[in-house]
Amino acid sequence: MGFKMGIVGLPNVGKSTTFNALTKTAAAQAANFPFCTIEPNVGDVGVPDARLDKLAAIATSKQIIPTRMTFVDIAGLVKGASKGEGLGNQFLANIREVDAIAHVLRCFEDKDVTHVEDRIDPVADAETIETELMLADLESIEKRRANLVRKLKGNDKEAQQQDRLLQEAQEMLESGKPARLVEVDAEDAKAWSMLQLLTTKPVLYVCNVGESESVEGNAHSKAVAEMAAHQGNSHVIISAQIEEEISQLDADEANMFLEEMGLAEAGLDRLIRAGYELLQLETYFTVGPKEARAWTIKKGTLAPQAAGVIHGDFEKGFIRAETIAYDDYIACDGESGAKEAGKMRAEGKSYLVQDGDVMHFLFNT
């Protein structure tokens, strides 16, 4: 199950530096966080999770395999992208293919780095991109609704549902708000997601600050934080300059550098985790002497579907899941201790998998 986050931003905001640091760091962490390049602008990155190392240490696992997220470095955007300006068409097509957007905003002052609008105003930059996405959605909706006219005349139920949802999105956009604010009923959720509107994508604002502002941020990042909170979106503060330096170091040197900077962890680790949370994902583990492995699922996933992430046959032939909560696994020093303490549970098809569950699936072949 792959989850993609698109990295977007205006020119000269640090978007490519962030992406390059992300992929270089992943490559350097080959032991725990292997990286592979799918295309020149796509990076497959391991999600940092200290729990996985602890589980592996207890089980003496030979291999540690983290769960993964894919980051896509999307072509730079300029005003007018919705009308095809710059690389607008490519930009919009790439966004349709991702699950969420990481929007890099320039929150640093540097006279040597020009800004496309000749100003430093990250909130205005965010509004520029949001406006372009909204305009593109409006144009797409108008075309789609025009194409549905014939089916509507024939009382096609699917077309009626699609047109109703498109109308709701259109009304929201025409009021100056993104389509993600439309309240969608459970029975419409699948049809709504299939519309693939750009402004339904959840947004993570990445505040790129100067090196000296990487711990506390600055006035610009605070303004972004307020905007994100008002929108119901997320934000994270990083210094792309620091992340690029860290990406050139080995693990010990990187930890020393972070300590000197007063940082508990790399900003990119926070970015990856924030993206994971934004997509409402969680992790369960499979642990043994051969490997300790993390698996990604959506929150609210039932045990058979969680098993299906490993292999479709696991879901089809699901019998039960032997389950130990992460805290119990650690407290009991592994599977044997958890069994003796009565902390291993047999869960059936209706079990909602919890973040951190250590699971072993039994299934019919």
Sheet holding 291-298, edge to edge: 63-65, 291-298, 281-287, 358-363, 318-324, 345-347
- Tell me if the pTM is above 0.85: no
Q: Is the pLDDT of residue 357 over 90?
A: yes
Which own/partner contact pairs does 190-194 have at CB distance under 8 Å and 24+ positions apart?
Answer: 191/158, 191/161, 191/162, 191/165, 192/165
Res. 27 pLDDT band, cuts 50 70 90: very low
Range of the domain at 214: 4-278
* Same domain, residue pair 214 and 335: no
Give me the number of domains the chain comprises: 2
Task: Specify whether 184 is located in the same domain as 306.
Answer: no
Q: With 60 as the cut, is the pLDDT of residue 88 above it?
A: no
For 206-223, what is each residue's pLDDT tens digit?
A: 999 998 898 889 999 999
| DSSP H helices in the chain | 15-28, 50-59, 88-96, 122-147, 149-153, 157-174, 189-194, 219-231, 240-246, 251-261, 267-278, 303-310, 312-316, 326-331, 335-340
In a domain, 208, yes or no: yes
pLDDT given at position 92: 75
- Say whether both 273 and 309 belong to one domain: no
Are 278 and 202 in contact by the 8 Å Cβ rule? The answer is: yes
The DSSP element (H or E) to which 43 belongs, if any, is: strand 42-46
Most confident segment among 120-134, 272-286, 298-312: 298-312
Co-location of 21 and 57 in the same domain: yes
Better pLDDT: 348 or 13 = 348
Residue pair 181/168 in contact by the 8 Å Cβ criterion: no
Do both 90 and 163 map to the same domain? yes
| Same domain, residue pair 208 and 325 | no
Do 305 and 266 lie in a common domain?
Answer: no
Which band of pLDDT confidence, cut at 50, 70 and 90, is reported for residue 115? Answer: low
- CATH number of the CATH domain containing 63: 3.40.50.300
Residue 93 within any structural domain of the chain: yes
